[in-house]
C-alpha cells in the first residue's frame, strides 16, 4: 500500500508541476497577447493620424491647383503664354501631389481597417472610421485638383491657339 501511496504522490507532484508549467505558459502568452493588442491599437491610431494628415495634404494640393489654375487663366487672358503654361504645369503637379496624398490616405485607412479585423475594439473602430472619412476627403480633393489642372491646361492651350491665330 505504501508503494501505491508513493506512486500516487509522485503522480500528484507531476500533475502539480504540469499545472504550474501551464499556468506560467498562460501568463507569458497573456502578457504577449496584451502587448500585441496594445501595439495594434497604437498602430491603428497612427494609421488614422496618417490618413488625416494625407487628407490635409490633398486639400492643400487642391488649393495649390486652384491657385495655379487661376494664375493660368489670368496669364492666358493677358496673353502671357509662358506664365500660363507654367501655371498649368504647376496645377498638374499639384494634382499629382493630391493623388499621391489620397493614395497614402487610402493605404493608411486600409491598415486601420486591417487592425479592426484583428481586434474589434471600439477605439480601433473609431480610428478606422476616421481614416476612412479622411480617405474620402483626400479623394475628393484629388478629384478637384485634377479638374482644376485640366482646366488650367485647357486655358493655356486655348491661349496658345488664339495667339497663333492672331
Q: What is the pLDDT of residue 1?
A: 65
The Cα 86–Cα 91 span in angstroms is 9
pLDDT at 120: 65
Averaged pLDDT, groups of 10, the chain, 166 residues long: 85 92 94 86 87 94 95 92 94 95 91 74 81 91 94 92 84
Q: What is the DSSP string of 23-78?
A: HHHHHHHHHHHHHHHHHHHHHHHHHHHHHHHHHHHHHHHHHHHHHHHHHHHHHHHT
pLDDT for the residue 119: 67
Q: What's the confidence (pLDDT) of residue 129?
A: 85
How far apart are the C-alpha atoms of 47 and 64, rounded to whole Å? 25
CA distance 43 to 49: 10
Query: Do 97 and 64 contact (CB within 8 A), yes or no?
Result: yes
pLDDT for the residue numbered 127? 83
- Beta-carbon contacts of 134 under 8 Å, excluding residues fewer than 6 positions away, are 48, 51, 52, 54, 55, 105, 108, 109
Question: Considering the entire predicted model, what is its pTM?
Answer: 0.77
Amino acid at each position: 500500500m505504501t508503494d501505491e501511496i508513493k506512486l500516487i504522490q509522485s503522480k500528484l507532484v507531476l500533475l502539480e508541476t504540469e499545472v504550474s508549467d501551464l499556468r506560467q505558459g498562460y501568463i507569458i502568452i497573456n502578457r504577449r497577447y496584451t502587448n500585441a493588442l496594445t501595439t495594434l491599437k497604437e498602430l491603428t491610431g497612427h494609421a488614422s493620424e496618417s490618413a488625416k494628415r494625407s487628407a490635409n495634404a490633398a486639400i492643400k494640393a487642391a488649393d495649390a491647383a486652384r491657385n495655379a489654375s487661376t494664375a493660368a487663366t489670368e496669364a492666358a487672358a493677358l496673353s502671357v503664354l509662358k506664365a500660363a503654361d507654367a501655371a498649368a504645369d504647376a496645377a498638374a503637379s499639384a494634382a499629382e501631389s493630391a493623388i499621391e496624398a489620397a493614395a497614402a490616405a487610402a493605404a493608411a485607412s486600409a491598415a486601420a481597417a486591417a487592425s479592426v479585423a484583428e481586434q474589434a475594439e471600439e477605439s480601433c473602430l473609431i480610428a478606422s472610421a476616421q481614416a476612412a472619412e479622411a480617405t474620402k476627403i483626400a479623394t475628393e480633393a484629388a478629384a478637384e485638383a485634377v479638374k482644376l489642372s485640366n482646366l488650367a491646361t485647357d486655358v493655356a492651350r486655348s491661349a496658345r491657339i488664339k495667339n497663333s491665330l492672331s
